[in-house]
Amino acid sequence: MAESLAINGIDDSPRGRLLSAAAHLFRDKGFDRTTVRDIAAAVGIQSGSIFHHFKTKEDILYAVMEEVIHFNTARLQQAVASEATAAGKLRALIRAELQSIVGDTAEAMTVMVTEWRCLSEDKQRKALALRSIYEQLWLDSLSELHQQGVMKTDPFILRRLLTGMIGWTPNWFDREGPVSLDDLADIMLARVIGEAP
């Protein structure tokens, strides 16, 4: 999965193609409005055959989220590891999450946010547990800067503001436009460490 950088961070097996198609459809039409037949048609099989790979439609949604969490947690860990300074780490985190959310794993990430509610409570808990490593990387980085006195605002709140800013990006960002993802990462970083606005 991680080694073949396929779309949505999913490998090119039959199961992987199914997940990719599902992620795409879930983002476009939403989980509830995507039928099992839609997904089957998108990968060229019959609807009944889906259930050889997943027990329920909801399991497909969960698997999409699981894959994208694993993939992006690994990406965040690499991002943090590759930087020496606290500010550098934070910028790398922002850049990496932007990449996740408007780049290669855009569909699956969007699905994770918008279709979260379609997960049963049980699966929500399981997915949250997977997410915790991911979130801890952010809090560690922000806490370090806070302790260094770089900013005064509570790291928890700042993470929430960043989540909002980054999460909303796919709704407006234009990859062909004048502002690059690197520019945008800098702009967002400035909202936190407060360089001249």
The residue within the footprint of its own copies, chosen from 4, 5, 29, 81 (CB under 8 A), is: 29
Query: Residues with Cβ < 8 Å from 39, sequence gap 6 or more?
Result: 18, 21, 22, 25, 50, 60
Instruction: Please report whether residue 51 would count as binding DNA according to CB under 7 A.
Output: yes
Question: Looking at beta carbons only, is 11 or 58 nearer to its own copies?
Answer: 58
Owner of token pair 């909303």: 168
Please say whether the beta carbons of 74 and 128 come within 8 A.
Answer: no
Kindly state the smallest distance separating residue 185's Cβ from its own copies, in Å: 12
Of the two residues 49 and 153, which places its CB atom closer to DNA in the complex?
Answer: 49
Q: Are 73 and 134 in contact (CB under 8 A)?
A: yes
Q: How far is the CB of 17 from DNA (least distance, A)?
A: 9
Residue 123's binding partner among DNA, its own copies, none (Cβ under 5 to 8 angstroms by kind) is none
Alpha carbon 7 to chain centroid distance?
13
112-151 as b/e: b if 16+ CB within 10 A:
beebeebbeeebeeebeeeeeebeebbeebbebbbeeeee
Any contact of residue 196 with its own copies (CB under 8 A)? yes
- The count of C-alpha atoms lying within 13 angstroms of the C-alpha of 71, restricted to the half-sphere facing its C-beta, is 26
Which stretch, 9-17, 41-49, 77-85, 147-155, contacts its own copies (CB under 8 A)? 147-155
Which residues bind to DNA, rule: CB under 7 A?
14, 33-37, 45-53, 55-58
Which residues bind to its own copies, rule: CB under 8 A?
29-30, 32-33, 114, 117-118, 150-154, 157, 160-161, 163-169, 171-172, 179, 184, 187-188, 190-194, 196-197
